Amino acid sequence: MELISPFCSDKRHRRRVFACAWPERPEDGRQVAERLHDLSGRLLEIPALAFDIWPAFDMRAARVTDPGPVRSMTVEDLGRLMERRGRFDPPRLPAPVGPEGYNIAFGGHASFPPTRAEELAVYIRIGRSRPGSLNHAYVEPRLDSAIWSEPETSLRLLDSMIEVFEAPWATAFGRILGGLVPGATGSICERPWMIWSTEPPPPASWELQNWQRALSDFGPAPEVRPHRGGRLSVWP
């Protein structure tokens, strides 16, 4: 499938996402909190994404009394919050987290309480320890974020996510609703921008297989180069 326009100006996108993934790895709330502190600090160092991130555990508008932002919380307090609110399923405290780990969302805001939709969203599925399971992290800036026209800055963000989560797979992609067929509904296509990996995805991972399928759906990447001990593929 030919790419009809550069990634940053592709009007078909409904979402644009940075993502990384890693295989099963048990972690407790404190370990998760340490990674989140690290991620928060790295986001603040990128001008296009320099927003504090706040935990978002409930489907409601943010309140002044909500805990956060992440950088103002101690690792201990954030870890306890993960244990109380972020576990994907039982058991509950004081038992160790179960094999499905934590499911956590954060919103990045220019001010708080926010006066408009979040500037970026962060979704993390972490601590899954069941054999064959996959953990992943998404950072989703707004479609109009300046970062989408800054390839070097975008690669810097991917590198940060790879380091924070010790991930062997990472990507930046746009999501096209309706797929690639004009007028189609109910299908989704992920249009690649960057795909990096140090190893093939596990056969049972539908998510990583989707990333890999992009390599054939959109043709070979015009640019492929060694990067961080793996291979980085880049499309226009």
Measure CA 92 to chain center: 26
Bigger pLDDT: 24 vs 220: 24
Task: Name the residue with tokens 């992290």.
Answer: 137
Beta strand extents in the chain (DSSP E only): 15-23, 52-55, 102-109, 120-126, 134-141, 169-177, 188-197, 223-227, 230-234
Residue 4 burial (10 A CB sphere; 0-12, 13-18, 19+): exposed
Average pLDDT over residues 11-32: 93
Residue ranges of the domains in the chain? 25-130
Query: How open is the CA angle 211-214-216, to the nearest 5 degrees?
Result: 135
> Which amino acid, 205?
S
Instruction: Give the 3-state secondary structure of residue 43.
Output: helix
Q: Which two tokens stand for residue 64?
A: 């002044």
**Chain-wide mean pLDDT for the chain?**
86
pLDDT mean over 57-82: 84
- Percent of the chain residues past pLDDT 70, beyond the cut: 81
Minimum mean pLDDT among 44-58, 143-157, 173-187: which range? 173-187
Nearest to 195 by CA among 152, 225, 166: 225
Confidence at residue 9, expressed as pLDDT on a 0 to 100 scale? 86
Predicted local distance difference test score (pLDDT) of residue 65: 75
Cβ atoms of 134 and 208 within 8 Å: the answer is yes
Tens of pLDDT, residues 180-212: 545 444 456 778 899 999 987 665 565 666 666
Q: In 3D, which of 90, 231, 234 has the Cα closest to residue 152?
A: 234
Average pLDDT over residues 167-175: 92
Q: What is the pLDDT of residue 31?
A: 97
Pick the residue with more confidence: 39 or 94?
39
> Which residue is listed with tokens 């970062």?
147
Residue pLDDT, tens place only, 90-101:
888 889 999 999
Query: 35, 189 in Cβ contact below 8 A?
Result: no
Among 65-74, 97-106, 161-170, 207-216, which stretch is predicted with the lowest mean pLDDT?
207-216
Among all chains, which residue has been given the structure tokens 């940060």?
Answer: 160
Of 169, 178, 152, 182, the C-alpha closest to 210 is 169
